[in-house]
Amino acid sequence: MTLIHWQPWQEIDSVRRQMDRLFDDFGPLREAIKLSEPTWTPAIELSSNDTEFVLRVQLPGIDAKDVDVQVGRNAIVLSGEHPSEQQAKENGYLHSEFRYGKFQRVISLPASVQNDQVKADFKDGVLTLFLPRVQAVKPSVVKVNLTGAEINSALPE
């Protein structure tokens, strides 16, 4: 029986080289199709009760016209842009921690919603979506009366 020594560092190095090649191959493709990556992601808060989900999204400084909301049965796609403001630099210095640029976020929902009955509210930089749940068909139980019924106990051939 031949004994082979396991060399975990060699395997990790091999995986690292493969990942490097993967990202090197993906880089030119990204440039070719000119993907515009989102520069930031808005914070969310998702709560639920028996009848609906309530999704709150922080979008400070963004107008409602700059937000695109698409609601599917099991997910929501939020995208838009917070345009940068042209500010005059006094004495050649500007320090800003504001988030500018494009954003996109896909939020998976834990259950299906009635996407044609969604209500929205946008106030003070907070988008609130009211997403009614799909009402599941409740299983009904039917009692079968076996008295007076002919029961065939013969097995099929």
- CATH number, position 77: 2.60.40.790
Whether 70 is in a domain gets the answer: yes
pLDDT at 68: 93
Q: How confident is the model at residue 54 (pLDDT cuts 50, 70, 90)?
A: very high
The structural domain count of the chain equals: 1
Average confidence (pLDDT) over 118-146: 85
Query: Which structural domain range is residue 102 located in?
Result: 44-84+97-132
Whether 145 is in a domain gets the answer: no
pLDDT at 88 > cutoff 90: no
Whether 32 is in a domain gets the answer: no
Give the residue carrying structure tokens 């320090």.
Answer: 95
At residue 38, what are phi and psi to the nearest 5 degrees? -65, 145
Give the residue carrying structure tokens 């004495």.
Answer: 91
The mean of the pLDDT values for the chain is 79
Whether 33 is in a domain gets the answer: no
Whether 109 is in a domain gets the answer: yes
Question: Among candidates 127, 43, 38, 140, which has minimal Cα distance to 81?
Answer: 38
Whether 36 is in a domain gets the answer: no
